[in-house]
Each structure stands twice: as structure tokens, then as C-alpha cells.
Amino acid sequence: MPKPEPRPRICDYEGSNYRTEFWERKDRDYEDRVERIALRRLLPPNGQRLLELGAGFGRLTNEYYTYKQVILVDYSLSQLQYAQENFGRSDRFIYVAADAYKLPFRPGVFDAATMIRVIHHMTDVPRVLTEIRRVMTPNAPFILEHANKQNIKAIFRYLIKKQGWNPFDLAPVEFVELNFDFHPAYITRELSRAGFVVRRRLPVSFFRVGALKEHLPTDVLASLDSLLQYTGLMVTPSIFVQAASDQRSAFSTTDDEDDIFACPETGAPLHREGDTLVSKATGLRWAIRDGIYDFKAPLE
């Protein structure tokens, strides 16, 4: 029998103070504003079921208010618990703790997806992009944000020999453990290989510089960034990509919340038994913890 694929390294925010320390106490209102501008430009205004990968504490979830249902996926149960406190329990918001490399969903159940400030933690980009395409309907929009290896700071540091890695090389660079920068052409290539068609790209965060954010009003910086996003100058630290799944994607419609799920290990259908989802094929059981589907590990 073939050996199972080795599990990629995973960046786990479980129990972290990411919301307070990274966002609320670090004056990142500018970054939040310009990312929302790009997201609104690229994501269709409405749809049926949207997959938010790496939703975390739900920073951007309110941008999807026109979608009928939003499935928030994150590896961290504690981050999802905070999101649940904010958005509540309902048929509209579904919270799922899961590994993005093994999504616990049937093929073709999402007609939109976003993945923002997440892929820079991924060691196996082709694998995760293939998983995302698998669960999307044909021609479904996918908005991906990635850290840009070819940003102006990296280029300058390389040219003056203050940096060893080459920003013009297509290979990803891991500049800190589980933190990767990607060349825009690399991301475009891997999206195409996974079954996506790239339609548009926006450079974002032109003014991600502490001194500028300290001395200039956020409204001014956000307005300038909004204009510069149209230039196509792919030298910013962040790039937003609008892609769409190709015609090879599956299509599956269901209004039943539990019917969107499948065993992440085998792909087998699941059925609910109390506060668990169970695979008849394998007997694997997955917990539902206070309204959050937990697919990080099966119950013993």
C-alpha cells in the first residue's frame, strides 16, 4: 500500500493573543482599511455559500454580509470561539476547526472563497490550492492574498547586498519559521496548476511603513493606497489575486448544514449522531464542540 503523505508543518494560533497583540495594539488600522478596499473590489457582492479560510477571530467576516452562508475555517479552536462570540450561532455562520490541507467538505459546495493573510504560513502551496479548488463550484471566485517576495524593500536590500535571498527568483522564501514570501509569478503558476484562472491582481499596502503611519492620517494613506492599487505595480508587501475555479470543478447543492461535510481523511459521507459527525465507511467520529465543528483530530 502507498505510504500516506507526510503532514506539512502547521502554524497554530491556538490560545494566542493574535487579535489583541497583532491588530488592536499595533496600530494596524491602515492595513485593515486597505485590505478591505481590495477585497470589496475583487469579491462579487453576493452569493450563496462562501468559504473563509483562515478566518481567525473573524476580522473580515463582516465583509461577507451579503452572502447567504459563511463557513469560517481556522485551525485554531480558540480563534473561532472568539468569532462565534462576535457573530453568534445561526445557520448563517458555521464555524469549523480544520486543517486546510485536508478540508472536511464535499466537492463543489462553495460558490466563493477567500484566503487572506494565511497562505504565507503554508509549506505546501500546491496541495492547499488543490484542496480549495476541489470544494468549489465551476467559475467560483477565489480571492487570495499573499505576501510578496518581490516587494520594493526586499529588492533594495538585495541590490545593496544586505539580503542573501533573491527577490526575483520564483522559489518561495521562508524568512522566519512558517512565514513565507512568494513571487507573484509563482502564485499565478500554482493557481493555474491547481485549476484556477487568474483574472485580476491588486498591489496593496504601499505605505506599510511605521514612520508614515505615525505621521500621516490613516484616511490619507488609505485613500492614496486605494488609487495606487489601480497602477498594477507589484512591488508592495501584499498582493490580492482574483481567481476563479475552472470548469473541472464539481458542483453539489445542498441546503442541509451537515450535508456539506465529508471525512477529511477519506472523503466519505458523514452523518450526525448527537454532538458528533460519523463516517459509516470508517467509523471515524468528529466532535461538535459548543457549535464549532472540530475536524482537527477524530475522537478516540
Here the cell at position 36 is: 478591505
Average pLDDT, the chain: 93
**What would the grid cell of residue 135 be?**
470544494
Beta bridge partners of 173: 181
With pLDDT > 70 as the criterion, what percentage of the chain qualifies?
A: 96
Q: How confident is the model at residue 248 (pLDDT cuts 50, 70, 90)?
A: confident
pLDDT tens per residue, range 127-169: 999 999 999 999 999 999 999 999 999 999 999 999 999 999 9
Residue 221 near residue 204, CB atoms below 8 Å:
no
**CATH number for the domain harbouring residue 59:** 3.40.50.150
Question: Is residue 169 assigned to a domain?
Answer: no
Residue 1 has a pLDDT of: 37
d(CA 175, CA 180): 6
Half-sphere exposure of 211 (CA within 13 A, CB side): 0
Q: Which of 146-155, 207-216, 222-231 has the lowest mean pLDDT?
A: 207-216
Q: How many CB atoms lie within 10 A of CB 206?
A: 22
What percentage of the chain carries pLDDT values higher than 90? 83
Residue 97 lies in a domain: yes
Residue 242 reports pLDDT greater than 50: yes
Count of the separate structural domains present in the chain: 1
- The pLDDT confidence band at residue 6, using thresholds 50, 70 and 90, is confident
Residue with the three cell numbers 453539489? 252
Quote the CA–CA distance of 55 and 47 in Å, as a whole number: 18
122, three cell numbers = 503554508
Q: Considering the domain boundaries, does residue 178 fall inside one?
A: yes
Q: Is the pLDDT of residue 3 over 70?
A: no
Question: 148: helix, coil or strand?
Answer: strand
Q: Cα separation of 296 and 74, whole Å?
A: 10
CA distance 241 to 39: 9
**Is residue 195 in some structural domain?**
yes
Domain-located, residue 34: yes
Domain residues for 64? 18-147+174-260
Q: Is residue 274 part of a domain?
A: no
Query: Alpha-carbon torsion 202, 119, 155, 25, what sign?
Result: positive
User: Would 287 be classed as within a structural domain?
Assistant: no
| 62 within a domain of the structure (yes/no) | yes
Calculate ∠ Cα 86-90-91, nearest 5°. Answer: 135
Q: What is the pTM of this model?
A: 0.94
pLDDT at 250: 65
The DSSP result for 106-129, as a single string, is -TT-BSEEEE-S-GGG-S-HHHHH
